[in-house]
Structure 1
Amino acid sequence: MRNAAIDPDTVLRFRCNICGQQNEEVAGRFHRELAPCATCGANVRFRGIVHALTEGLYGASRVLRELPPDEPTTGLGFSDDRCYASLLESRFAYLNTELDAAPVLDITKDDDVARYMQADFVICSDVLEHVAPPVDRAFRNLAALLRPGGLLVFSVPSFDMPETVEHYPRFHDASIVELGGEKVLLNRTAEGELETFRNLVFHGGAGSTLEMRLFAESDVVTRLKNAGFHRIRALDTPVLPIGYYWLQAPGEARGGFEPRGYVLSARRMD
């Protein structure tokens, strides 16, 4: 994280912007997916999401639990964590969609997207690294879900690499099978060729959590612009009052490239 030279033994005190509770933790234990609120369990990324959302809707960072009902405002989420999704449901006309359970929304399917258009805000956090190629279709459909001027709150794991790396660029008709205790991806390309891939990377589980690509940080912004977004802002500096802060942990680099993965906000062009 930029401008984040804090001694790892320094105690950081923050107020969770989801539940409103006070917390403290030493700086060295902060990580994108750690430093959970002791009350609601929200990690650093979740607090960044709510910060970007409330700033985008109200012009200032707000505590989600303290927001009054705002039923005219419509929103969509993609498997958002319950620690903030339940509060969004009670404040807004918000629907937390799933890939394989109702309410279903597959961002790669135009027919699904057509059922949920014209939202005031969309939250899509750590989803597009898992969708089948071409990934630009998913970026375009994020824009299609929003009304003109609508707010996108977005994140993917990304790296300071020169370009995005697709693990399975010819992905077409694929299955994950287990051979000798190892999970292997078998893919039949559109041309009928059979491909086999080992050393699969999963994020937090199996099945739909297969890592399909490594995003380049700069490429994420380019793809958002090409999909029809502007006013793209990366939350790449600490917001200490809400506990949004981390340094890269040893061993997180991929191929020698350092991780980024900041929360972003963007607006659909009018």
Structure 2
Amino acid sequence: MRLIRFGPVGDERPGVMAPGPAGDPVGYDVSGVVADFDAGFWSTGGLDLVRGAVASGKLPRFELDRVRLGSPISLPPKILCVGLNYHEHARESGMTLPTEPVLFMKAPNTVVGPDDPVLIPPGSVKTDWEVELGVVIGRPARYLPDPAAAREVIGGFVLSTDLSEREYQLERGGQWDKGKSCETFNPLGPWLVTADEVPDPQALWLELTVDGQRMQYGLTADMVFPVDYLVWYLSQFMVLEPGDLINTGTPAGVGMGQQPPRYLRAGDTFTVAGQELGSQRHECRQAGPELDRGPG
């Protein structure tokens, strides 16, 4: 099942994308069944309610091409990120492969929709791109016994863009969170695909282009630490809660790794895509006090 949220920024409603009678994708409004795709949705059996409502055939429909799609989940309780988790990306960064996952966090209010503008921070000269497989937690996880147990707590998967300001991240005290938490720095979507529809998260491709030029293409099989291991590992250090988002790392091809380095500027357009995960398109704009860009 593919979960979506649609509507104006800050006023998104939960929906489902499913094949219509003619086989074309159709939007179904499930706001009369669940309030939102948030922590409460996952912890109270909301997915089963939605599945039942879709099966009933009585949900109101809407045309997908006539609505704005927001992030398919509301603001997550936590955004947990993994650095240097692709062999090729670690090599292009000139860094040794980690022996344990490299962890950092992003502010939850960095989340925006799959086609929303990305804002370049004032004075930024090193805003970088990273396409990632996002994992959304569906059940509480604490001290999981082994990586195999992780599949029982994963709610679904989502296309995630982990933007970074490299100067803030690496040259302003070495605090990664500082370079990761600027507004609009975590677009999600267009949909969340439920875990049952992704039998092997290590068999997906991810791609990112900037102004029509492919910069990143990689396979999740290249991960240093696979998805199930990451969920198990994180559960040893913190309680994973329903609705939490895990960004699992990026393939090679980031701007910092180009020769010479290349970064995003206002006016650039970049697209992101992932197998089973859909695609995003973003225009880069200069951030400023006149832009009040809410979550979505």
> Could you tell me the TM-score, scaled by structure 1's length?
0.25
> Could you tell me the TM-score, scaled by structure 2's length?
0.23
